[in-house]
Amino acid sequence: MRRVALFGRIGGEGVSTSRADDFREFAAGRTNHLFRSACLLTSGDTHLAEDLVQETLGRMYALWGRVSRIDNPAAYAQTVLVRTFLTHQRRRSATERPLGEIPDTAALPGDDPALRVALLDALGRLTPKDRAVVVLRYWEDRSIDETAETMNVSPAAVRTRSVRALAKLRAQLGGRFTEFADR
């Protein structure tokens, strides 16, 4: 798996070494997880996923003095990632079309690459908000309330989007949908 280069140097003027070291440790431990989530959100666009992770970690570093003191900085990083993705999707030009590339990941035992490609393709056809709900609810295993908080929407909106997105996935994947559900 690719590692995202964060900064050439951390700990400039006015930044304590221990704070920079704490952030380096946090970033090293969370980068791969954030990258996998970003790949799912972007339907396999690894370049955009890297950009999203870089921007997320940049925002985390800028606020690290406050963020490092909260109970769960990892959850906060995930929230920043999803909101950064949604902002990017809103700002994207209507004519821009990603070419998409499947991330190079090691296959799990019993993992069918064709199923993975079919799922990434089906995820790519969902709207960005529907895709974010599916990734948070079913990949990240977040509750409805946690997903709503992360996306800054109501729990009812999460439930509605979940039902709609799963119906779209079922329609796109047909009988293969149950193969994913069993994994």
**Mind giving me the DSSP string for 21-69?**
HHHHHHHHHHHHHHHHHHHHHTTT-HHHHHHHHHHHHHHHHHTHHHHTT
Which comes out higher in pLDDT, residue 92 or 126? 126
Q: Which pLDDT score, from 0 to 100, does residue 138 have?
A: 87
The CA angle 155-80-25, to the nearest 5 degrees, is 130
Confidence of residue 97 (pLDDT cuts 50, 70, 90): low
| Mean of pLDDT values over 8-31 | 73
| Mean of pLDDT values over 5-26 | 65
- What does the pLDDT look like over 130-183, one tens digit per residue? 999 999 998 888 899 999 998 999 999 999 999 999 999 888 887 665 555 544
Q: Which pLDDT score, from 0 to 100, does residue 3 have?
A: 44
Provide the CATH number for the domain formed by 109-183 in this structure: 1.10.10.10
pTM value > 0.85: no
- What does the pLDDT look like over 28-37, one tens digit per residue? 999 999 999 9
For the chain, what is the total number of helices (H) and then of strands (E)?
9, 0
The two tokens of residue 50 are 């890297």
Domain with CATH 1.10.10.10 in the chain: 109-183
